[in-house]
Amino acid sequence: MSEPEDLSSPFRLPTAGPSKQTRETFGERLRRRREQLAQVDEVKTLSSWQSRARVFTALVVESPHPRASIVRCQASEARHLAGVEAVLFADDIPTFRNSLGHEFSGEPLLAEGEVNYRGQPVALVIGRDEATCREAAAKLEIEYHVSPGILTIDHALAMMSFHEAARICERGKVTPALAADALRSSGAFLIPPQQAPLAGAPEVIVTPVRGRRGYSVRARALSPALIRTAVARTADIPESDVQLEPVGLAGATDALEMEPVRLAMLATRAAMACGTAVVLKVSGPDSPLVRGQRHPVKVEFDASHDAAGKISALDLKLHVDGGFYATDSTTVMERAALHADSVYGIGHFRITSQLCRTHRITSSSLPAEGSAQGAWAMEEIVRRIAAAIGKTPKEVRERNFYVEGAEPKSAPYGQPVQAASISRVWNQVLRRSDYDTRVAAIEKWNRRNPCHKRGIAAVTTKFGLGDPRPERDAASVLVQILADGSVLVRVGLVDVNDGFRGQIREEVATRLGIEEEAIRVILNDFDVLPRSTPVIGADACGLVLRAIADACKRLQGRLREVALQLFAARGQTEIEIEAIRFVDGLVGPDISPTHPLHFREVIEGAWRKRVNLVETGYHRTPNLWWDHELGAGWPFSAFTHAAAVAEVQIDLFTGEVQVLRVDFAHEGSPSPDQGERDSAQLMRAFTLGAGWLLSESVPYPEDDDASCGHVAEGVPGFADAPFQIVTDRLRPLGDPASLPGDPCAEAPVLLAGCVREAIWDALGAFGWKPELRIDLPLPSTPPAVLGTLREISRQIREGAPPAA
């Protein structure tokens, strides 16, 4: 076994060379090399030039313990196994290079002396194939000294284990206001995690290119630009030497954001060690390194309200499980806090958010990460208050909505709220679903039916589009007009195959007045456009569409001048440049539509006149800011509003829940022709939310036997979709310049809360009363629902214990 090749030291000529240097021919060199190899008993492919074309496999050896000290690492037996190229521990990586870097999480690439989450990379085995690597990994002697880890938020709170001081966002004077009202409600509950992507190979492939001066990376990732940074940093090369191979994704839930960074760094380190292309593998499909999770949040609240349910003050605490290394959990926590007011204008409101340090790995790669937890926490609080005062949740919700013209007019952090939009979607969904009539019908149905109970509920949401890190709210595109008038649009956005291509084509066609068939959209282009706009969190579509508008506007400006000259050449000198329009493949003044120019003629003219037909479009949402120390800012480019009514039916024998009907009223994207795409996006996000709340149970806290295999079985299938779906797409209100481009990509995750609310309503028909001490576990799987039904029966039979 040879030592790993040293790639970091500069190349130096040998000090004592042969006395007489002879120039070998290629054939001689080849023969000599073959003879050398033949003399060696154990062929080392590591440094042989023949092996450069091969692809090795690197296997990440992961910690089986959430918290432990590494007492001993020994790999002599594994290193001598045939086919093993190298085994790397933290000590084998040059000093100061064994880190993910501060932009990511600062954690060591390979564990140094201790492990702090289950799945943490401890070693890297590089070999000719996966089977060899696994055999070698089994021969590694790694001795752990296991310590009890902090695996739950409660444990972290008890141990005061936090990443940083709590962040507070406050409006009004909460403490005195809490004391002022007679009625107080308080409580705590846990929002469990949801598992991120489930399909597709999580492998990362890193290939040395240009004589190992650069690397080409293929990774399934939501933020390829981060991968590029990570690989460049690991290999200590400029980012321009890193090529990203495009990978088409099947939806925004098909990849992770931060996890591929760690994997890409490990793969690069392996590729550097053996000088060949490397495919990185993890321990298995359930490895924590490739299974992102929505952050679990523990919610504590203390609210004061009147007898009608109007909340005067609310002290809300969000304890977010930030794992041991807070990768971007801080942003998740902030999103949760920024959505915690949901659609409710509460005068005195304090949101305290704290990131707990646990011995877990966390990630943020699911749509509406953070915001869903924040908004859902508020809906649960409202439901509990309604239960406490004996009102329906609908009444209490309506009483607490932001109201147009009344205080408060802004969210607790200061960004103005459009109360009219909230009431518009709410009233529309109630009207469309015929809510009141159905409530009465359900009551009647429930009285007749002893085997099934139905419930109905409505919720409405306000979703902020934008990232609290303003540097992420920008997009760049490149629009190129070719000689025949066709157009190439390059976009620095990951292709998630959600139909955005069509929307871009429509935008360009409208702007340049040409047919959509003449436009080709290239997504995933990170070589030409270095900036990658995140597909989750920011309003990526809106940003890209505005960047396109920016590019098209400048191209039009140049083409107008060309058209003016062409008109002049035809003797039409009275035409004003501002009057020239681009419509239906024609170019001409709108006041005299006769004898217009064809778009193609104008382009031909532009080519002859050497006019630049390539334009970069760039857009950044202006004036976004967020100061977490002040707890104030304008973090979102826009809010989008939606409301939903769900009717469910519980099978009292099995606990199975069937969603019978869902009614949506939502604000659509600005283009009237994108209704179908909006509808598809809406269903995708709603399905994600419904799976989280209904069926996708994730082991939390993880135990030693935790297997995620059955998590996939909870993903809703075709037959689990609601029987009936009614959608009302409303024209968005507000400034057209700041309307969200894709309002349905993430916001409907929040709407799935109405399903859980409807289950509570059905439980009420079964006999649940507020005085019972009952909680419906999340997700509400059949065992959880049947267990709750049984507990309700028991408490009714035995007499309810006093409420907490």
By the criterion CB under 8 A, which residues form the site for another protein? Answer: 198-201, 248-251, 253-254, 445, 449-452, 496-499, 502, 649, 651-656, 660-661, 676-677, 679-680, 683-684, 687-688, 691, 695, 697, 710, 712-721, 723-725, 781-783, 786-787, 790
**Nearest residue to 486 (alpha-carbon basis) of 508, 503, 464:** 508
Helix, strand, or coil (residue 29):
helix
Strand 183-191 vs strand 204-209: parallel, antiparallel, or unpaired? unpaired
Report the residue number, 175 or 654, with the smaller CB distance to another protein: 654
Nearer to another protein, 48 or 497 (CB): 497
Q: What are the backbone dihedrals phi and psi of residue 132, each rounded to the nearest 5 degrees, phi first? A: -65, -45
Q: How far is the CB of 660 from another protein (least distance, A)?
A: 5
3-state secondary structure at position 221: strand
Q: Which of 466, 462, 204, 245 is nearest to 343 (CA)?
A: 462
Task: Provide, rounded to whole angstroms, the least separation between the CB of residue 714 and another protein.
Answer: 5
**Residue 371's CB: how many other CB atoms inside 10 A?**
28
- d(C-alpha 576, C-alpha 76), whole Å: 82
Report the distance separating Cα 788 and Cα 795, nearest Å.
Answer: 10
Tell me whether residue 68 or residue 751 sits nearer to another protein (CB atom).
751
Nearer to another protein, 107 or 647 (CB): 647
Strands (E) across 485-549 are located at 487-491, 519-522
Q: In terms of C-beta density within 10 A (0-12 exposed, 13-18 middle, 19 or more buried), how is residue 766 classed?
A: middle
Measured from the CB atom, the residue of 555 and 659 that comes closer to another protein is 659
Q: Rounded to whole angstroms, how far apart are CA atoms 371 and 315?
A: 18
Q: 245 vs 407, which CB is nearer to another protein?
A: 245
Query: Least distance in Å: CB of 681 to another protein?
Result: 8
List CB contacts of 275: < 8 A, sequence separation 6 or more: 5, 7, 46, 47, 51, 52, 208, 212
Output 105 or 253, the one with its CB closest to another protein. 253
Shortest gap between Cβ of 784 and another protein (angstroms)? 9
DSSP 652-678: TTT--EEEEEEEEEEE--S-GGGHHHH
Residue 644: CB minimum distance to another protein, A:
14
Virtual CA dihedral for 597, 603, 609, 610, nearest 10 degrees? 170
Distance CA 298, CA 284 (A): 30
- Give whichever of 83 and 251 is closer to another protein, judged by the CB atom: 251
Evaluated on CA atoms 671, 676, 679, 684, the torsion sign reads: negative
Give the DSSP H or E segment for 556.
helix 540-569
| Shortest Cβ 185–another protein spacing (Å) | 31
Retrieve residue 711's tokens: 């998590």
**99 token code pair:** 């880190």
Cα–Cα distance, 232 to 243 (Å, whole number): 10
Alpha carbon distance 316, 352 (integer Å): 6
Q: Tell me the Cα Rg of the chain.
A: 30
Measured from the Cβ of residue 682, the count of other Cβ atoms closer than 10 Å reads: 25
Q: How far is the CB of 652 from another protein (least distance, A)?
A: 8
Cβ closest to another protein, residue 26 vs residue 718 = 718
Output 482 or 652, the one with its CB closest to another protein.
Answer: 652
CB of 286 or CB of 651, closer to another protein:
651
The HSE-up count of residue 378 (CA atoms within 13 Å, CB side) is 32
Least CB distance to another protein at residue 199 (A): 4
CB of 438 to another protein, least distance (A): 10
Q: Which is nearer to another protein, 546 or 684 (CB)?
A: 684
Nearest approach, Cβ of residue 786 and another protein (Å): 6
Q: How far is the CB of 198 from another protein (least distance, A)?
A: 5
**Closest separation between CB of residue 238 and another protein, Å?**
32
Residue 497: left if φ>0, alpha if ψ -120 to 50, beta else—which one? left
Q: Indicate the burial class of 72 (C-beta count within 10 angstroms; 0-12, 13-18, 19 or more).
A: exposed
C-beta closer to another protein: residue 786 or 800: 786
Strand partners, 358: none
The CB-of-117 to another protein minimum distance in angstroms stands at: 25
